[in-house]
Amino acid sequence: MSLAFKNQNIQRSEQKQKIQSLLEAAVERHQNGNLAAANMIYEEIRKIDPDNVVALQLSGVLACQVQQYEASLSLFSRAIYLKPDYAEAYNNRGITFKDMGQFDDALADYSKAVSLKPNYIDALYNCGIALQQLNRLDEAIVSYSKAISLRPNYVKALNNRGNIFKDLDRLDEALADLSKAVKLKPDDAEALNNRGVIFQGQKVFDKALTDYNRAIALRPDFAAALNNRGIVFQELSMLDEALVDFNQAIALEANVAENFNNRANILRELGRLDEAMADSNKAIARPGLSRCVE
């Protein structure tokens, strides 16, 4: 072996060690939320090795986090071009597409990630999200179910699948999923709120109120839970309490038509007809009735 060849091997080894050290430093800063510092190190790595797929992929994640979506797509696409079997890059590019509202593109990338790694739990979960957004609910259930079979304590997947079951009027299955989510994570305000909606639909108002109260205690600014609790108070003819909740919901979400519509109903029952009419007009001026479930 020539001296020049030996020197080249030494230089490559030293460069590899330097890049690894830089990657570790960048990831540590990235995980701690110091995005500017992490980005500077990723850029330094890419100057040393423009085709470093790990640095490209992590740079794409960071760009997505700061909503630089076109840059994010470019970085992921370069990583995928260099490493066509890079499942993580496909999954993360899918997240960028999802954040851009391009759910068909997101689903294509998530599905590719799953085809490369069939037990890729995060990608299966993300497929469920995209399918849910595309109103392909039966397929979304299948995707969430695969993720849950691999990670039985996957609270987010249980919560989302429970919501789909609710939308499909499969209430026993919805209640089972949401109750399991609450048991696994008692401080999950969204799971509590969503289970409250099931109880509310079944007219089990005491249990609905208990869940909404817990959700609001955990997240005092949870407008959807305040709105939902207000509806239960109205069902129980507790109009003053309902009005307080709708007032708070409107203070938090002034662009949600449903909040104004619900308050108008209460004001009408209280005989405050001019105020009810004003709220009805505000509801009509909004884009449309919003969600009852977060």
pLDDT on residue 15:
73
Question: 76-104 in b/e burial notation, b at 16+ Cβ within 10 A?
Answer: bebbbeebeebbbbbbbbbbbbbebebbe
Distance CA 237, CA 17 (A): 70
pLDDT on residue 8:
53
pLDDT tens-place string over residues 222-244: 999 999 999 999 999 999 999 99
pLDDT on residue 289:
43
pLDDT tens-place string over residues 12-28: 666 788 888 888 998 99
Domain 221-294 sits in CATH at 1.25.40.10
Distance CA 145, CA 139 (A): 10
Domain boundaries, the chain: 24-84, 221-294
Question: Which three-class secondary structure state does DSSP give residue 183?
Answer: helix
Per-residue pLDDT for 288 more than 70?
no
Output 5 or 66, whichever has higher pLDDT.
66
Per-residue pLDDT for 138 more than 50?
yes
Average pLDDT for residues 175-200, to the nearest whole number? 96
Single-letter amino acid, residue 181: A
pLDDT on residue 255:
85
Average pLDDT for residues 243-270, to the nearest whole number? 91
Distance CA 112, CA 86 (A): 10
Separate counts of helices (H) and strands (E) for the chain: 16, 0
Per-residue pLDDT for 73 more than 50?
yes
Q: How far is CA 166 from CA 134, 177, 187, 291, in A?
A: 17, 10, 21, 13
Tokens 């869940």 correspond to what residue?
211
Count the neighbouring beta carbons within 10 Å of the beta carbon of residue 211: 26
Average pLDDT for residues 24-45, to the nearest whole number? 92
Q: pLDDT confidence of 198, banded at 50, 70, 90?
A: very high
Q: Is the pTM of this model over 0.85?
A: no
Does the domain formed by 24-84 have CATH 1.25.40.10?
yes
Distance CA 207, CA 39 (A): 48
Question: 219-253 in b/e burial notation, b at 16+ Cβ within 10 A?
Answer: beebbbbbbbbbbbbbeeeebebbbbbbebbbebb
Count the neighbouring beta carbons within 10 Å of the beta carbon of residue 261: 18
Q: 227: part of which helix (H) or strand (E)? A: helix 223-235
Q: pLDDT confidence of 179, banded at 50, 70, 90?
A: very high
For the chain, the farthest-separated pair of C-alpha atoms sits apart, in whole angstroms, at: 96
Alpha helices, DSSP H only, in 49-154? 53-65, 69-82, 87-99, 103-116, 121-133, 137-150
Output 206 or 291, whichever has higher pLDDT.
206
pLDDT on residue 191:
95
Same fold, 24-84 and 221-294: yes
Per-residue pLDDT for 290 more than 50?
no
pLDDT on residue 135:
96
**For residue 245, what is the DSSP state?**
H
Q: 13: part of which helix (H) or strand (E)? A: helix 3-31
Cβ neighbors of 282 (< 8 A, separation 6 or more) are 257, 260
Of 46-50, 243-247, 281-285, the one with minimum mean pLDDT is 281-285
pLDDT on residue 291:
41
Per-residue pLDDT for 284 more than 90?
no
pLDDT tens-place string over residues 81-116: 999 999 999 999 999 999 999 999 999 999 999 999
Q: What percent of the chain has pLDDT over 70?
A: 93
Per-residue pLDDT for 146 more than 90?
yes
Distance CA 193, CA 188 (A): 9
What tokens appear for 218 in the block?
A: 């955990």
Of 11-15, 108-112, 139-143, 216-220, the one with minimum mean pLDDT is 11-15
